[in-house]
Structure 1
Amino acid sequence: MDAIRRIVRMLRMSARASEERLGLSGARLFVLQQLAEAGPCSINQLAERTFTHQSSVSVAVRGLIEAGLASRRPSPVDGRRVEVSLTAEGQKLLRTAPPMAQARLITGLLRLEPDQRAALARGLDALVHELGMEEQTAPLFFEDEAPTKRRQGKRRHEKT
């Protein structure tokens, strides 16, 4: 339990820092940071980079676009493909953004030996099963939580 609490605490503190400093959810900031590292890319590519489902990334990207931090346009290479890219406002925001805990978590997981990752995945899957949570969606961390009343007034980059 202590290990789970430490990980959840790290993620929550990181998300709170993003909201308080930038008025942007931690999940959206994480997607924005991944977009900055990758350059213009598709929603599916962002989903791969964030290790989450395409639909979760799509929701975060929609919020980033509405906030003017990202844009969507046809690919210059393949007009059938849509790419998401940072706007000048998104680049400016990232200059003062705190690093997100999700990146630390992914880095830590990738440093584990393959058999350790597999054992961890099996153990967590078994725990999810015991909790009866198999059917629940797995959005980006804390993205589905509504902001508190106190924080709603601080949102500078998200439209209500």
Structure 2
Amino acid sequence: MDAIRSIVQRLRVSSRACERQLGLSSAQLFVLQQLDQAAAASIAELAQRTLTHQSSVSVVVTRLSERGLVARRASAEDARRTEISLTPAGRALLRRAPRTAQADLIAAVDRLPADERRGLAQSLTTLARALGAGDEAPPLFFEGDEARPGAGAEDCEDREES
């Protein structure tokens, strides 16, 4: 349990610092950092690069677009696809941004030997299912929780703190 608490705490502290420093969620910063490496040819590609579901990335990209940090445009090759890239304002923001805990977490997992990654994935999947999670696509870390009224409230009801 201590390891899970430590990881969640690192993600939470990073997220709060990002919001305080930049006015963005850590998920939004993580998406910006992925786009800084290369523009995305589609939401699906960006979802793959962020290791999350298309719907989650789409919500984040919409928020970033509304703030003028990313640009969306129809692909010249396939009008059904939306290309996503950083705007000058997005690049300027990134110059003062810290590295995200999500990026550190992904890098740490990637450094694990393949058999350990598979075992970790299986164990975490089993744990998520035992908790009743895992049936729907989760958002990026700490993205959107504040937007849902009562989000997380069910976790506090009828339970004593352990």
For normalisation by structure 1, the TM-score amounts to 0.86
Q: Structure 1: how far apart are the matches of 2:99 and 2:86?
A: 17
Q: Provide the secondary structure at the position in 2 that maps to 1:71.
A: strand
Deviation at 1:76, TM superposition (A): 3.2
- d(CA) in 2 for partners of 1:49 and 1:137? 16
Q: RMSD between aligned alpha carbons?
A: 1.4
Unaligned stretches of 5+ residues in structure 1: 148-160
Inter-partner Cα distance in structure 1 for 2:2 and 2:38 = 34
Matching residue of 1:51? 51
| 1:13-32 correspondence to structure 2 within 5 Å | 13-32=13-32
1:66 aligns with 2:84: no
Counterpart CA distance in 2 for 1:122 and 1:79 is: 38
In structure 2, distance between residues paired with 1:96 and 1:106: 22
Q: How far did 1:135 drift?
A: 2.5
Query: Does the CA contact (< 8 Å) of 1:19 and 1:26 recur in 2?
Result: yes
| Corresponding residue number in structure 2 for 1:129 | 129
Contact 1:40 1:86 (8 Å CA) reproduced: no
- Which amino acid in structure 1 is aligned with residue 30 of structure 2? F
Deviation at 1:138, TM superposition (A): 1.1
Quote the sequence identity (%): 55
Give the alignment's TM-score, normalised by structure 2: 0.85
Structure ranking higher on relative contact order (CA contacts 8 Å, 6+ apart): 1
Is 2:109 the counterpart of 1:96? Answer: no
- The more displaced of 113-122 and 55-64 is 113-122
1:35–1:41 contact (8 Å) kept in structure 2: no
Aligned residues: 147
Tell me how far 1:82 sits from its aligned partner.
Answer: 1.4
CA displacement at 1:136 relative to structure 2: 4.5
Structure 2: gaps of 5 or more residues: 148-162
Amino acid at match of 2:34: Q
**In structure 2, distance between residues paired with 1:143 and 1:53:** 13
SS at match of 2:71: strand
After superposition, what is the alpha-carbon deviation per residue over 1:120-140, rounded to whole angstroms, capped at 9, x for unaligned? 011111111222223344110
Task: Please name the residue that 1:117 is paired with.
Answer: 117
Match of 1:145 in 2: 145
Letter in 2 for 1:62: T
Deviation (angstroms), 1:81: 2.3
Where 1:56 maps in the other structure, the secondary structure is helix
Question: How many Å separate the matches in 2 of 1:75 and 1:136?
Answer: 29
Structure 2 counterpart SS, 1:102 = helix
Tell me the equivalent position of 2:150.
none
Q: Which moved more, 1:103-112 or 1:58-67?
A: 103-112
Amino acid at match of 2:37: E
> Residue in 2 aligned with 1:151?
none
